[in-house]
Amino acid sequence: MIKVGIVGGTGYTGVELLRLLALHPEVTLKSITSRSEMGRPVAEVFPSLRRLVDLEFSEPDLAELTRCDLVFFATPNGTAMKMARELLEIGVKVIDLAADFRLKDAQEWEHWYGEPHQCPDLLLEAVYGLPEMHRELIRSAQVLANPGCYPTATILGFLPLIEKDLVDSTRLIVDAKSGVSGAGRGAKVANLLCETSESFKAYAVPGHRHQPEIRQALVAVSGLPVGLTFVPHLVPMIRGIHATLYAEIKDKTLTQDALYQLYKDRYLEEPFVDVLEPGAHPETRSVKGSNVCRIAVHKPQNQDVVVVLSVIDNLVKGAAGQAVQNMNLMFGFDETAGLDIAPLSP
The residue extents of the domains of the chain are 2-125, 150-314
Give domain 150-314's CATH architecture.
2-Layer Sandwich (3.30)
Amino acid identity of 305?
V
In this structure, how many other beta carbons lie within 10 angstroms of the beta carbon of residue 111?
Answer: 13
Active site residue 149: yes
Q: Is CATH 3.40.50.720 the right assignment for the domain spanning 2-125? A: yes
Residue of 68, 149, 194, 293 marked catalytic:
149
- Rounded to two decimals, the pTM is 0.96
Per-residue pLDDT of the chain (346 residues; tens, 9 = 90+): 999 999 998 999 999 999 999 999 999 999 999 988 999 999 999 999 999 999 999 998 888 999 999 999 999 999 999 999 999 999 999 999 999 999 999 999 999 999 999 999 999 999 999 999 999 999 999 999 999 999 999 999 999 999 999 999 999 999 999 999 888 777 678 777 788 889 999 999 999 999 999 999 999 999 999 999 999 999 999 999 999 999 999 998 999 999 999 999 999 999 999 999 999 999 999 999 999 999 999 999 999 999 999 999 999 999 999 999 999 999 999 999 999 999 998 8
Question: Mutual orientation of helices 256-266 and 149-163 as an angle, nearest 10°?
Answer: 110
Query: CA nearest 95: which of 143, 28, 29, 62?
Result: 143
Q: How far apart are the first and last CA of the chain?
A: 34
